[in-house]
Structure 1
Amino acid sequence: MEKDSNEKKAPAYLTKISSETFDKLKEQLLQLMVVEKKYRDRHFTAKKLAEALHTNTRYVSIVLNVRYHLNYSQFVNRLRIEEAMALLADKRYAGLRMDEISDMVGFANRQSFYRAFQLYTGVTPRQYQANYIQP
């Protein structure tokens, strides 16, 4: 019996992880990365995340890819940029230099911060801040 050509087959990597494990890892990942803000630690790698979750990097990768359509670096940078956006829009942080904001959210240097910020938002951090902070 032939399969219907319109019938979609689940990606092979999804068969490597049970739905229970997937859901558990997703919740634990959110706890560590969003609530505990581990993304601020520039040395917190996908391997360290997997170790903290008592799993392997392949499973972490599957959860990030399926749930967020991102790899680890993209996921971490998105969290960093979202926090940076909040800081840049907050008048209490208007006196901080961009390298201080970059460091606060976990980027290794100002250049990678600018590149990721512009890629994610379409504007530079200074342009974004100018929309919120008026002298």
Structure 2
Amino acid sequence: MIAIGLTLLGIALIWYTKYRTGSGGEAKTNEDEEELQLIYNKTIALISDEKYYLNKNVKLSDLASELSYNERQVSRAINRFSSGNFNKFINSFRIEYSKELLIGGQFDHYTIEAIADECGFSNKVSFYNAFKSDTGMSPTQFRAAKQSS
């Protein structure tokens, strides 16, 4: 009889935990969402202001440490509010910077490999792949299209 009672109590507890509604669960979710948004905003500010993306060896752990959060929190914020993981997030800043260099005129004498290096990419292939994924064209095509217009 006690075993049946404990079993029913266990089932009720599991059901309550899984299906409960109300402000308790929602408040926690809203707090989490606000905290993630705050972390994401701080991450963008640091990356932009300090040009963190130019560091070829940038790691999530370094960024998290600089922001005084743990890696999991920063990763969750990036995954939640950007269109990809940490690497894709960093590469999006690098691509935007590379576009400026490709069309600015000041770097017209730079090779594509030199532009990649200047933007924080460790090699030409990863630059080409990230650039093409983001813009739909290669850096060379992008430069030519912007120079002709």
Q: TM-score normalised to the size of structure 1? A: 0.81
* Offset at residue 23 of structure 1 (A): 3.5
More relative contact order, 1 or 2 (CA 8 Å, 6+ apart): 1
2:121 is aligned with 1:107: yes
How big is the alpha-carbon RMSD for the aligned residues of Structure 1 and Structure 2? Answer: 1.7
Indicate the SS of the match to 2:56: coil
Segments of structure 2 that go 5 or more residues without pairing to the other structure are 1-27
Contact 2:37 2:81 in 1 (8 A): no
CA gap of 1:69–1:133, structure 2 versus 1, over 3 A, is closer
Contact 1:64 1:70 in 2 (8 A): yes
Q: Which of 31, 48, 73 does residue 87 from structure 2 map onto? A: 73
Q: Which of 61, 65, 68 does residue 51 from structure 1 map onto? A: 65
Q: Which of 49, 52, 60 does residue 38 from structure 1 map onto? A: 52
State the number of aligned residues: 120
Structure label with greater radius of gyration: 2
Indicate the SS of the match to 2:58: coil
Contact 1:88 1:129 in 2 (8 A): yes
Letter in 1 for 2:69: T
2:86 is aligned with 1:86: no
CA distance in 2, matches of 1:119, 1:69: 12
* Offset at residue 20 of structure 1 (A): 4.7
CA distance in 1, matches of 2:141, 2:60: 31
* Offset at residue 19 of structure 1 (A): 4.2
Measured against aligned partners, the alpha-carbon deviations of 1:13-46 in whole angstroms (never above 9, x if no partner) come to: x85x734532431232112112211011011101
